[in-house]
Every structure is written in C-alpha cells, then in structure tokens.
Structure 1
C-alpha cells in the first residue's frame, strides 16, 4: 500500500501525466512567438493562392496594406500593456498582493485565490489582469511550497482570457451595444444584458471558470518535478532611481505637485465621462488606458519615478508592437482574398439552428489563430454569422457568445498576448505553452457540449 502511494506521488496525478504530453510538444515543436507569426503568414499566403482566385501579386499587396492598417492599434495595445504593467508593479499594488498572499495557507487555497483574483482583475481590464496575475503568482509561490509556477502562470493567464467572455469591455459586446455598429440594420442594438449576461452565457462561463480551477488543483506534479519561482521579487518588480535634489532641475524632477495636478485633471475627465456616458458606455479602449495612466500619476509621486517605471516596462511591449503589424498583414490577406469568408461560410453551410453556435465557436477558434483581434475578426465573421442565424432562425445572442468564446479560447494557443506576462516573470513560451494547450482541450470539450445542450434546458 505504501509502495503504491509512493509511486503515485512520484509520477504525479493522472492529469499531470496527461498535461506533460502537451508540454513535451511545447519544448520540442512550438517555436518562438515571432517565428509562429511568420509561419502563419506563409501558410495563409499560400492558402490564399491555392483556395481562392487571388494572384501572388494581389496577396502581396493585401499583406503590405494590412501591415500598415494595424499601426495605430499596435501602439494602443503596446501603450496599454506598458501602462497596466506600471500600475501592477507599483508599491501600492505590491502591498495589496503581499497582504492577499499572507491569507493563503495551502497550495489548493493558493490556486483558488489566484484564479478568482485573475477573473476579477480581468473584468477591470485584460492587460492589467495579464500582468498582475503572474506577479501575484510570484508572491504565492514564495509563500507556499509545492506550487508549480509554470502551471500557475498558465492558469492565471487563462483567467484573463475567460474573463473577456463575461467582461463588459469585450470588443464585440461593447460594439453590438452601440447605436451605430455595422449590423444594426439587421439585428438592432443588443445591450449587454442580452449578450454578455444572458442565462446561457452565465451558466457556460460559470462551468468553465469553476472547472478550470478544479482542473488546476487536480494537476498535481510529483515533488521532484515542481518548479518554484526563484527570482528576487523586489528587484524584479520595482527599481527606483533616486536623484539628489541639489539643483532646480532635479527639484522639479522630484516634485509631486506636478503629478497630482495632472492626475487631478485626468480624474475630473474620468468622472465627467462616467456621468455623461455611464460606466459601461465609457469603457472604450482609449478610455481604459487613460484610467490606468491617470492612476499612475498618483501611484508614482514624482516625474522621475513615473518615467523610470515606464522605461523599465517598455520591453514588455516589444513583441506586441513588432507582431501586431504582421498579424495585420495576415488579417489583410485573410479578409481581402476571401479566404476568411470561405472558411466561415463552410461551417455555416453545414449548420442547423441548433448547431450554428457550435460551428460559430469552431470557425472563430480557427480564424483567431490568424486574426488575434476580436474586433477585426468580427468584421470578417459577423455579417456571415448573423445572416446564417437569421436564415436558420437560430438564437442570435447564443451565436454571438459562441463567437466570443471561440475567439478567446485559442488565445491559449496563439502566443501573442501571453508574452508580456512571461516577460514579467522571466519565462519563455515553451515553459507554459503545454499547460495552456491542456486547458484549451478542456475548454474545447466543455464549450462544445455546453453550446449545444445548455440552450435546450432554457
């Protein structure tokens, strides 16, 4: 009996052994994110020529035009990542994380607290959740022994992704709630109580959220395979540059009054925007970035601390800034060649009113690998899915939700958004990709079943 228990402990749980098969693939097959992006570019370029009537020169033109179509968005995303990272690494947030980690007593409790924390922070903003969750994981693994840090990072990242399926700031939910979206003539305005917070979505999200927590707890590695975070949290999180106030210039560089005045101006604008548009109506991408930017004027009390924090975090945006234009090129080829319409059309043609949400989910999952932007992907898929839903008399909110779940789920396979989180904790994609893929398989099974069965009970 003791021998059997020792063997189980040595090998880890069944789920652990299964997850390791994915990690083997991550270490030996999956390339660096930029290479992944370039390979997708070549695959789509060749596919566009083979499966559509598009010529080589036109595919090259679509690729070139697409690159420059994403420059503004690439800057927005990069600035958001850096700004949210600066917020997450501030002294104030660090104190909160220390206090929270002090409440944890066991590995199981640590996983539960981490993932609930991740869901809540992702509701506030996906970039903030992406950065702050692995930082919290560092504190937890320093305090509680027996936590496998790569798995914590992967599971924490999954909370950000799943959070967007219930968060009010998700692109499609916010778009359909506006009065001037491009499908308004077909479906009208769909407020978020109809899309985001309808019973089907709440039930499916709850099953996935709770199930992912349980899954993470049950993945128990053997003691000899546990990888704990071994870095210096204080030095990794915050480096302050101190300057003596020996002249007027340095006095101004260390002056907190300037920061508070600018922060106050930002705070007044935030309040007026909430009053004018309401909380949900205000949450545009630029406004969310502005909230965190304003917060940083209060968290970093001097101009020197403020700019030093931004300098220290700029590297987190490198992959986003470089790769987003290339994904813009991929999106340009996918959209203008007709390949995206061809792909989505295939799935809608084999659908019924009952199965349309499922095929919407699968087509969105595939398309997201090539267009990792929910808004950009909806431009390609939205019109086709809504036309199919109207023709088949399918439930339109269910189709929209299925699209969002598909778009978000394959962010576990598509490495673009996890890069800033990995940079914060000094890890590489291959360290966590296998666990992310394992979670994706779980989501694929549960979501596919849920999209078909749950509506039949409502």
Structure 2
C-alpha cells in the first residue's frame, strides 16, 4: 500500500491533478512572489503613480500635489476605524467558546472527504456574508475541526475552500465595505452621490440571487476538485496539534477586582444594553437602516455576550489587535492617494476616459473587471474604494448608470481576484500551517469559474436596474 502523505512535510512534492492548472498556478505564484511587494510598499508606489499621472494629465504642480496628499492623509480616519472594527469584532466573535462549540458540532455533519470540502465551502461563504473578519478566523477554526473528523480529506483543498468567504461572497454581504460605507451618513462622497441604502445594494434582488447562484456553484465545484486517493495530501496530526485554540483565562487570584473581571454580570449588563439600543434603532426603519457602524455595533455586542466574562473578552480583544495593524498603518497613505486623485482633478480625467468608450449597458461589466484587476495590486476593498470611487461614480452618473449598480459592480469586481490574492489569506494560512502555493492550483480553477459566472451576471445587470 502506498504510504499516506501529510500536508506540512510532503505537500510541495505532490503531483497536481490537472497539469495545465499546476503550470498556471506555479507561474502565477512565481510572478506574485517576485514582483508583488508588501501592501505598505504598494501604497507608496501607488502614491508615486498617482502623482505622475496627476502631473501628466492635470495642470497641478508638484508642490500642489504634496499639499493635496497631505490634505487627504486624514480624510479616512473614521473609515479606517470602521474597517479595523470589522476585523476586530469578527475575530472576537469567531473565537468565542460558544461559536467554537457550534462549529465543532457542525463539523460532525461531514462524512466523506468531498462532503467535508462542500461543507467547508458553504460555511466559509456564509460566514463571509455575515462578516469578513469573522469568516477569516471562523473558517480557520472550522478547518481544524473538519480535518480532525475526516482524516482522509485533502487538506490543501479544504483550506482553499475555507478561503471562499473572502474570495467569493464577503463584498456582497453585511460587512461589504463599499455598499455599507455609502449607506452611512457623512461618508466621504456624500456630497456627490448622497446616501445609498443597503436595500438598493446588498438587499437588491440582483445581488441576493447572484449570491445564491455563486454559493450553489462553488459548493458543487470545490468537492469535484478533490484529488484521487493516490494524490490526496492529508494533514499531519502534528500540524493539528500545533494549531492554537482560544482558551479563556483561568482565574488565579481572588480579589474584588478579579471578581468583577470574571463576573458574567458585567458583560451581560452592557450586552443587554446594546440589544436594547438595537431594538430601538431598528424600530420602524427596517433593513434600510443598516450601515457600517450598525454592523460593527451588532458584532461588538455579540462578542461581549458570547464571551460572557470580561477576562475572556479582553484576551480575545488582545489577540484581535494583531490583525488590525495593517489597516492602521496603510489607510492614511491610501487617503493621501485619494487626496491627490480628488483635489488635482485626476478623478475627472479618469472618469472622462471611462465615458469615452463605455456605454450604459457595458459600464457595470467594465467597472467589475477594472476593480478586479486593480484588486490584485491593491488588495483592500476599503482603501481601494477611496481611490476608485471619485471617478467611477462620476463616470457612471454621466452614462446614466444607477449609483447602486456602480457600487455593486465595484464590490463584486473587488472580490473577483481575492481567491488568487494571498494578502487576506495570510491569517488563515498561518493558522492552517500552509503556504499560498499549496492552495493556488485549486484557487486558480475556482477563480476561472467564478470570473466567468459573475462577468455574465454584470453584462446582464443593467436589465435589473431601471
């Protein structure tokens, strides 16, 4: 009998099931490893690029561009905090003991390798619709539970399926950066496009039906990619043992201070107050009242209640802080790019370029692909929105495209290349103990099917927005 192979010590040597896909995946990984630098470096390079374009196509001078850059640098402070809280609150909820227990029980539904992959895909996409920060961490936790229960599942494919929430659904759900931001009062484009409620974007029938189609398609596709028995790479039990599992801190001191830190009454008091506020907030308003601040409030309240005791919440919050630093460091630089693009008049120039060749019918698909290609270089739906929004929204309005459709086109395009972009997979892969090249072959196949499916949808999208 052939010796069983385990991820973590022989994965790199395993043959791929589809040679063409393996070649394509290897080439893409080699290119990104060699040419795509860290996201912070990319922000600086994009600042230079925006400056060169502004100097070339607008009457702005270099001193003026420096002034525009500085003026825009702090334009996205509230947005940066909102994005940080999505990651932060998503992590706090995902590692809460009740959530971990629920995911463990859910894993018991899987009986076969393909069944485990399909279940992982559906759970990841569902979590992505709820909160993308929750999806990253929750999917990593669920991988561990599934791998323990179904030992003969291909571990690489299981982890690739765990990335589907970030790769296929998050920007169409309740933590969607662009749709939620334009639904939030005082957002940075409110003077130009006003407030666009989520009933016109996230909860529009077009978006809901497309989400359903994508979930069904991916749930059927991913288990079909499972290798045969001889090519399956299973997880090394030692890798599972090394995976960190959140454990609430044990009480070691018995003082009045620690009595409060370990008392459930503290969290229940503030948690119930949060629920009371939400009931009052939504009374008579319905889904249209949802915005990015409300979503973060819901998840923070949920995290407080699920952790029960302040000590457990504080430990989870401390760990969550490790995943927020990228937003804190990088978003001011993206805001600086926004300042250059907006105040120099470059946004008008780019908008006019779009108008010159696009039509009302083709513009949604063009924005979709433009957003997807740019996403591979700027892997952040929030910061990239600050760069693109001024000119894609203006061009769309000039062509007569509804603002809500332009926002959705951007949102779905932003997800298109996420599945083959390693940036947001870093937390998942670090927990799973894999490298991105280990899942890239599967990710490329998923990307090709997903891109074709959603491209057709946005070519037809104008029929649903009148």
| Matched-pair contact (CA < 8 Å) for 2:88–2:321 | yes
How is 1:207-356 mapped onto 2 (pairs within 5 angstroms)? 207-220=213-226, 226=233, 228=235, 231-232=239-240, 236-278=244-286, 280-356=287-363
Q: For 1:47-446, what aligned pairs fall within 5 Å after superposition?
A: 47-149=53-155, 151-164=157-170, 166-167=172-173, 170-173=176-179, 195-196=201-202, 200-202=206-208, 204-220=210-226, 226=233, 228=235, 231-232=239-240, 236-278=244-286, 280-366=287-373, 368=375, 369-370=377-378, 372-373=381-382, 376=386, 377-388=388-399, 390=400, 398-412=405-419, 417-422=424-429, 424-425=431-432, 439-446=446-453
Q: CA deviation at 1:96?
A: 0.8
Q: Which residue of 1 aligns with 2:7?
A: none
List runs of 5+ in structure 1 lacking aligned partners. Answer: 1-8
* Secondary structure of the corresponding residue to residue 298 of structure 1: helix
In structure 2, what is the Cα distance between the partners aligned to 1:285 and 1:456?
28
Question: Of 43, 48, 65, which aligns to 1:42?
Answer: 48
Instruction: State the Cα RMSD in Å.
Output: 3.8
Are the aligned partners of 2:113 and 2:153 in contact in 1 as well (CA < 8 Å)?
A: yes
**Compared with structure 1, are the counterparts of its residues 142 and 340 closer, same or farther at alpha carbon in structure 2 (3 Å cutoff)?**
farther
8 A contact 2:82–2:293 mirrored in 1: yes
> Does residue 447 of structure 1 match 2:464?
no
Task: Tell me what 2:5 maps to.
Answer: none
Indicate if the aligned counterparts of 1:23 and 1:432 stay in contact, CA closer than 8 A: no
The aligned length equals 445
TM-score by length of 1: 0.81
Output the CA distance in 1 between the equivalents of 2:207 and 2:274. 35
What is the CA–CA distance in structure 1 between the aligned matches of 2:435 and 2:42, rounded to whole Å? 14
**1:104 Cα deviation from its structure 2 partner:** 0.6
- Give the direction of change, closer, same or farther, for the CA distance of 1:215–1:431 in structure 2 (3 Å limit): same
Q: Which residue of 1 aligns with 2:17?
A: 12
CA displacement at 1:13 relative to structure 2 = 2.7
Shift in alpha-carbon separation, 1:256–1:202, aligned structure 2, 3 A: closer
Mark the CA change 1:192 to 1:383 in structure 2 (over 3 Å): closer, same or farther.
same
Q: Give the drift of 1:43.
A: 3.1
Higher mean Cα deviation, 95-104 or 233-242?
233-242
1:165 is displaced (CA, Å) by 5.1
CA distance in 2, matches of 1:12, 1:87: 37
Q: Residue 418 of structure 1: CA displacement?
A: 4.3
Distance in structure 2 (CA, Å) of the matches to 1:315 and 1:23: 26
Query: Which secondary structure state, in structure 1, belongs to the residue aligned with residue 164 of structure 2?
Result: helix
Retained in 1: the 8 A contact 2:184–2:291?
A: no
Q: Distance in 1 between matches of 2:314 and 2:185?
A: 39
In structure 2, list runs of 5 or more residues that go unmatched.
Answer: 1-13
